[in-house]
Structure 1
Amino acid sequence: MFRLFFPLYLILILFSIAVLSGVEYLPEKLLNKEISEFDTRVSQGTFELLEDSIESIAGPAGSNIVQEDNAIAEIQPHFGYQITLMSRETSRLDDDSWQQLMNGQTVTQIIQESEIYYRRYQDTNRVLTISFGDSTAETAHRESQGTYYLIEQQLKQQPQSQWPLTIAELRPRFGFPLELQDLDPSLFNTEQLEWLLAGKILYVDRESHDWKIHKRLFDTDIILTAGPIPLPISTAKLNSIVIFILVALLAIAILLWVIPLWKSIRELSRAADAFGLGDLSARAGIRRHSALGGLASQFNTMAIQISQLINGHRELTNAVSHELRTPIARMRFGIEMLDDADNAEDRSRFLDSLNSDVDELDSLVDELLVYARFESSAPLAEPENIPLLSWFNKLIEHAKGYAGDTDITLNAKGITEHDYHLMRSRDMVRALQNLLRNASRYAHHEIRVEPVKDPSSAFSLVIHVDDDGPGVPVEHRQRIFEVFSRIEESRDKQSGGYGLGLAITRKIIESHSGTIESGESPLGGARFTISLP
């Protein structure tokens, strides 16, 4: 479940980090240069006129610091906010800010909720500052009051007819237009008109995202208009844009995560539907690294197992029906012959034949049940730690009882009395007995069992079963482990065997996570090699 939703958790975490970082730092980074240029453009004329006024009172810049401070005190009452002239050390500006001042720019800082404008005073190491506090219309009036006072000081020295020429001379010193206009009441609403007639400065924030600033000059019907002054994009608006972009990116990221997931779900559903309708070859074609890759892999494994089980049962059913035909037919024929028997000797012979057929059926059913037990998914017995040397000795002694004249030997050089192995003893005895019975049918004179114990190997126990019979042709070495598989009857010394023994042996070995192979024996016949982990 975690792997399925991990990409979504990761996307949400990264989105949250991006929103917090974007809202906190991005607007400042993006707007820093634009705001600095705006502040410089808006305050440039005010600072230049302020410098002119200080020089007119105190003389050239830097020549008399005391007189300059007195000039500031004389000008201060005409400003709505605090103006100061301080040294670089007193200003506590960092090197970057001072470099901006050296380049003729205005630096703005927020200190204790007050906005302070800094500008270098001429070519000296002193700094002119103007501190602003609150806002609204009164704030706008106070922020511009000093600038208009300085302009009026210039105009007051000239007759009204010379004002346009004076304004034209001042205009290049400002970063925005300056225009003299007749006061037209139709351009203002009642509140704005009252504000102008009261001698206050009127800010008009227009829909074109700029300002115009108006002030009635003295008691005349002429107003001085500054602007339009283009406004930089607001932090709030930029925040909205940043959040919108981040939300859009989040939506795209989630979509890119959901689309492959949706396709994987559809593919898994298609495979399940097809498999349910009987298409045993249906598999979910989903990449291993997909969010549903693990589920698809489990489905495919399950489908393979079910397919193998169904096919195995189908093959087993067909094979069983075929194998049962022969003894049943013989039994039917024996019963008919028993009915027609004329004497006790014939009846006894036919009864012995029927009993033999019944024993054959019983043996066949027993082997089928054993095979079915290993074919099913029923739990098997717990393995035990078996002492190998004594176990193989008992196995060989038991095998000698059915080997007849064939010599069965144990080459135990590869194990010691201290070697143990974890396995299900009863099942492994059946597996080895099947191999030994099979070898006793084909061997001419000798069968040899050779176990080798090697704990350092991936397969820590390897068992070779060799005989000196005709061997197994290369083309049959894989097929002989299939159910009811036999090679040509001429190789068997006796008829017998149903083709289940080697199949059962293979199932037992595989249930121990081992392998079994058929090859060529050093004795000249067949070699069966069991490898157990």
Structure 2
Amino acid sequence: MARHFLQLYFGIVATFAIVSWGQDRLWHLYADAARPDSYPSQTAVLTLVERQLTSMPQDRWPAAVAELARSTGLDLELMEPGELAGIEAAGPEQDEPALWTDADDRVWALQRLANSDRLLAFRFVDETSQRTPLEWLLVIIFYAAIALVIMLWLWPLRRDLRALEHSTLRFGDRNWSFDAGISPRSPVASLAAAFGRMARRIDGLIGSHKDMANAMSHEIKTPLARMRFEIELARSAETREALMQHLDHLNTDIAELNAFVTATLEYAVLERAEVALNIGQHDFTLVVPAVTESVKRGVRDDLVLSYDVADDTHCVLCDAHLIETVLRNLLYNATRYAKQRVHVSFRVAADSYQLHVEDDGPGIPAADRERVFGSFVQLDGRNTSHTGFGLGLAIVKRAIEWHGGAARVDGSPLGGARFMVEWPVKATGA
């Protein structure tokens, strides 16, 4: 802080000093020179001496001026034309005194004598250019006030920067929480907010990777163990039918592993720092029915899937691949837990697109409605006979966030859960 303070302080002081010096010089050279009445006593002396000289012959003027200088102690001189460089061309006019500063910075009051080219010169001390002790004290107080103002400006800035530094150091020591306590009015509030978003993003990625590692240890090891067991059984199979049955079980486990790897890779793509969205206009009066019918072909026969699409959804702005993935994952999730019915609705509100998928299943407790969108999260207490990896809803959440929207879950009039996703009409990406 001391280095920044001194740099700012001496920079301001030097600026004020240079400006003040320049103002003093300009005022002295021009303002005072143009206003000899600023020195009334000197002007009066010149006027009295001029009147005395005009009453005697000009050949006696030098002696008279010398006698007056000796007797009064005043520095008076009678100068011939040309003795003062520039005076003969620039003044002074008769009856109009002027000031002149010589090469030694001595100040002269000059008066051109009547009916003569001679100049009466009176040298004096310019007291206006000398600072009194009080003036020097005021100058010191002035610069001290500048230092106080700078200190008051730098202190909260330094305090907030130090708090930000300590928070980042704690975060770097694997304390995955970031709370610098910076006021919104602070000059570094935007920087602290950016650090906070970065910290939350890193914390989320670390948590996601932990969940992924835990899930992989279960979702991969379990099928591998079953596959190893089926291979041993296949080796000891006595009939072709028994062998084919074991091979079918192996194929089922391989398909499960492939589905898990595909879902994991798809989620990992959405968790990247940057995702390039392919935004275009798409006709959702065709997209929603097509995706719904596609999912319907793979569910049980007694389950009814219906849809309701508004007529004004012919030109929807989105990344079609991601939104189709969102709809499929929501439908897959609903069909796992629905008893008899799943309903899809899509419409355009004032400034957003709204997609709802609801079912008549057991629903989701209010305490778990935020957690259900986490990666590799599978809620306890639901029908455990349904398979899944806990990635479908996490993919939904990230895909909608990349569209600048949000996903949430609520209760459905059908009795189960209603998943609601919406994104702005002008989808630009998160």
**Do the two structures share a fold, i.e. TM-score over 0.5?**
yes
Matches within 5 A, 1:80-119: 111-112=35-36, 115-116=39-40
TM-score normalised over the length of structure 2: 0.68
CA distance in structure 1 between the partners assigned to 2:19 and 2:140 by the alignment: 10
| Contact persistence 1:469–1:525 (CA under 8 A) | yes
SS of 1:132's equivalent in the other structure is: helix
The percentage of aligned residue pairs carrying the same residue is: 32
1:489 CA drift (Å)? 6.5
Matched, 1:306 2:219: no
Match of 1:132 in 2: 45
Match of 1:160 in 2: none
1:426 CA drift (Å)? 0.6
Matches within 5 A, 1:54-65: none
Match of 2:359 in 1: 467
Q: Which amino acid aligns with 1:237?
A: R
1:464 CA drift (Å)? 1.5
Given the alignment, which residue of 323, 345, 358 partners 1:428?
323
Q: Which amino acid aligns with 2:388?
A: G
Match of 1:209 in 2: none
Match of 2:167 in 1: 271
CA distance in structure 1 between the partners assigned to 2:184 and 2:166 by the alignment: 18
CA distance in structure 2 between the partners assigned to 1:344 and 1:502 by the alignment: 42
Matched, 1:324 2:220: yes
Instruction: Mark the runs of 5 or more structure 2 residues left unpaired by the alignment.
Output: 25-33, 53-66, 76-126, 425-430
1:337 CA drift (Å)? 2.2
1:297 CA drift (Å)? 2.4
SS of 2:346's equivalent in the other structure is: strand
Deviations 1:367-406 (A, max 9, x none): 0111111112132332112222122232223222223322
Cα 1:272–1:484 shift into 2, 3 Å = closer
Matches within 5 A, 1:452-531: 452-454=347-349, 456-457=350-351, 460-488=352-380, 491=383, 494-531=385-422
Q: CA RMSD in A?
A: 4.0
| Contact persistence 1:415–1:451 (CA under 8 A) | no
CA distance in structure 1 between the partners assigned to 2:411 and 2:129 by the alignment: 86
CA distance in structure 2 between the partners assigned to 1:442 and 1:311 by the alignment: 27
1:114 CA drift (Å)? 6.5
Structure exhibiting the larger radius of gyration computed from Cα positions: 1
Matches within 5 A, 1:283-302: 283-302=179-198
Cα 1:471–1:294 shift into 2, 3 Å = closer
Q: Which amino acid aligns with 1:236?
A: Q
CA distance in structure 2 between the partners assigned to 1:470 and 1:291 by the alignment: 51
TM-score normalised over the length of structure 1: 0.56
CA distance in structure 2 between the partners assigned to 1:355 and 1:275 by the alignment: 46
Q: Which amino acid aligns with 1:408?
A: L
CA distance in structure 1 between the partners assigned to 2:222 and 2:407 by the alignment: 31
SS of 1:434's equivalent in the other structure is: helix
Q: How many residues align?
A: 344
Cα 1:301–1:416 shift into 2, 3 Å = closer
CA distance in structure 2 between the partners assigned to 1:293 and 1:489 by the alignment: 44
4+ residue segments displaced more than 6 Å? none
| Contact persistence 2:336–2:386 (CA under 8 A) | no
| Contact persistence 1:489–1:495 (CA under 8 A) | no
| Contact persistence 2:37–2:43 (CA under 8 A) | no
| Contact persistence 1:415–1:453 (CA under 8 A) | no
| Contact persistence 1:264–1:286 (CA under 8 A) | yes
| Contact persistence 1:286–1:296 (CA under 8 A) | yes
| Contact persistence 1:18–1:246 (CA under 8 A) | no
SS of 1:519's equivalent in the other structure is: strand
